[in-house]
Amino acid sequence: MSDERLTTRWWHLLIGISVLNVALLASTAAVVDFDDPYVLRQFCLTAVFTSVCAFRSVLPRIDLERYCLVDSPLSSMVAGRSAATVAEISFATQVALVIHLIGGAAGISWVQALAVPIVVLLTVAQMFCWSSVISLNHLGHAIEESLWAITFAGVGVALAASVPHLDGTLKTVSLIGAVCSAGYVAFMVTVDVPMYVKRWRSGQAEGVETLGLKAGLGDALGRRVVTRDWAIWKPEVAWLTGYFSAGVWLSQAMVHLPHGA
């Protein structure tokens, strides 16, 4: 099978996942109680996250290198990054709502108080991501991913601390969430952040040109390198596929979390 056909098959898989995700969202809309403020907030946030992930599945990009699969203005790095920023802040808000809910159920005020810092830290992370996209400097990505790791370290500790004070579904969710948070943080610290630090140092050593705000925005808006070369897309396959599948399923699952008094 040719390299291009491998890339195309993967792309079609992403589109298929996005169709499934939209169908799951519609199914959720048919069964949940929109008179419940918690459910309404969570559903609106997951609708944003699901929709943006579907958009990004149809029009995949690699921001710093300006790669895309479809030659369209909607494939611009600015369009894609703008949508991703809204989606990731929406996801952060979902997590904050869950932490606030679990902290209240466990009767632990400091867990509830983490809700605001979660959103603030992950919003700041988006700013560093934008700095990398505009400047072509991977340092911003290293800081962004570090902030995600720090945030979910806090989430994991909060969930673990809540477990002894809960029962039923919330206890199970908190326990699983604490374990998954620990695994996520370990991955970020040992794999993801070091990868971006290595890319940043390589760029420094090779004298790779970085861009200022005006030039960088113009470049991100207008430059697109359309390619289906599997060697380019292969390193992105695992995380993008997981992000657009399991990430969306987690987002939608938060709508259904028990939250009664």
Q: Which domain holds residue 75?
A: 3-256
The confidence score (pLDDT) of residue 199 equals: 85
Question: For 208-249, how does the pLDDT look when each residue is reduced to its tens digit (9 = 90+)?
Answer: 788 999 999 999 999 999 999 999 999 889 889 999 999 999
Question: How many whole angstroms separate alpha carbon 15 and alpha carbon 36?
Answer: 32
Provide CB contacts within 8 A for 14, sequence distance 6+. Answer: 57, 58, 60, 240, 241, 244
Query: How confident is the prediction for the chain on average, in pLDDT?
Result: 94
In a domain, 40, yes or no: yes
On whether residue 203 sits in a domain, the answer given is yes
- Report, as an integer, the average pLDDT of 125-134: 96
* Tens digits of residue pLDDT in 146-189: 999 999 999 999 999 999 999 999 999 999 999 999 999 999 99
Q: In DSSP terms, which residues pair with 67 in a beta bridge? A: 62, 225
**Res. 260: pLDDT tops 80:** no
Kindly state whether residue 261 falls inside one of the protein's structural domains: no
Residue 204's pLDDT is 84
> For residue 237, is it within any domain?
yes
Query: What are the two backbone dihedrals, phi and then psi, of residue 114, each rounded to the nearest 5 degrees?
Result: -70, -15
Residue 211 lies in a domain: yes
Residue 147 within a domain: yes
Instruction: Indicate the number of domains in the chain.
Output: 1
Rounded to whole angstroms, the Cα distance separating 8 from 17 reads: 14
Q: What is the pTM of this model?
A: 0.94
How far CA 138 is from CA of 62, 133, 145, 149, in Å, comes to 13, 8, 11, 17
